[in-house]
Amino acid sequence: MLHHLASLILLSAVPSFSTEAVPRDGSARIESVPLADAWIGASPTASQAESNGPLFPLPFTPDFTRGGGWGFALGLGVEYENAYSGSDEYEFEVDPAVSIQWRTGNHLFSWEGLELSWTTRQMDRWYFQVDLGLDGEREEGDSDDGNLDGLEERDDEFAATGEVRYFFDSEWRNYIGTRISVGNSDFGTLGFLFAGHRFGARQDGGGTEVFLYSTFADSSNLNRDFGINSSEAAASGLAATDLDGGYRSSGLRVVDRRFLGKHFQIVSGFEVQLFGSDVQDSPIAREDFSVEVELGVLYHF
């Protein structure tokens, strides 16, 4: 789940299920305390934000270029989440993250973990992003309790993703959007519909952002995570399951980004996702929901 950590810390795309390059499971706000207030007070001034401001003033979409040219960041994150989609087992994981960006005008090109992306700002209300990322594998060993014994391994798969957001105000605080990921027949198609809100008026990319989303998928994508073919059923003892395309889940995601001086950032996140009834009926979905809590620290060069 390396890219999942990268997505938390660097957060250039809408999550995810597990917030891997292409989300599959579909992050907790740190309340302000005196120390946190001190961090915020050390953040860029209004004049600095105007001259070196990010492409978008969104905690979920960082811009490390300081207004243009090259930007770099390194980070380390820890997450606590379901061991795999639908699992009732939870695990901690610690991973590094890296971001290399280049910005020219209203265009931002990024390499973050296992994802390449292009993001652009148009007409001061539109956000567009195109990326190529890797959806993570699933192995029998992902379940310590043996709940995946007899099920075939799901390999890493590349998927191309397009995202569009429309903002209702010039402050980039309220928006609606959609995100569609398409891969080969083993991955299928996964779509998101979402609405978000950014709290506060700061324009430097710090603060808190929250959004609600629903996901929809074709049969290939649903069966990748929750289907059981006849040979797997015979080997595992689980009931054969073949899901049709349609509604997959709905969820809530919160992201908070705080600055510590000029170079350090603290990023935290929380996500909860409720699966649809068809997914809940799969023997693989041992819980009807998934939860993720994440915390990361990064150094912005």
What's the chain's Rg over C-alpha atoms?
Answer: 19
Q: Would you give the distance in Å from CA 171 to the centre of its chain?
A: 23
**What amino acid occupies position 224?**
R
Pairwise CA distance, residues 57 & 171, whole Å: 8
Pairwise CA distance, residues 198 & 296, whole Å: 20
Choices 2.40.160.40, 3.50.50.60, 1.10.220.10, 3.40.50.1100: CATH for 2-300? 2.40.160.40
Query: What's this model's pTM, rounded to 2 decimal places?
Result: 0.83
Q: How confident is the model at residue 37 (pLDDT cuts 50, 70, 90)?
A: very low
Question: pLDDT (tens digit, 9 = 90+) per residue, 243-260?
Answer: 999 999 999 999 999 999
Phi, psi of 46 (to 5 degrees): -60, -40
Percent of the chain with pLDDT over 90: 79
DSSP state, residue 187: T
Question: pLDDT (tens digit, 9 = 90+) per residue, 93-110?
Answer: 998 999 999 999 999 999
Structure tokens at 99: 């971001």
Q: How confident is the model at residue 113 (pLDDT cuts 50, 70, 90)?
A: confident
Segment 112-116 long-range contacts (CB within 8 Å, at least 24 positions apart): 112/3, 112/6, 112/7, 112/10, 112/12, 113/2, 113/3, 113/5, 113/6, 113/7, 113/10, 113/21, 114/2, 114/3, 114/6, 114/20, 114/21, 115/3, 115/6, 115/7, 115/12, 115/13, 115/21
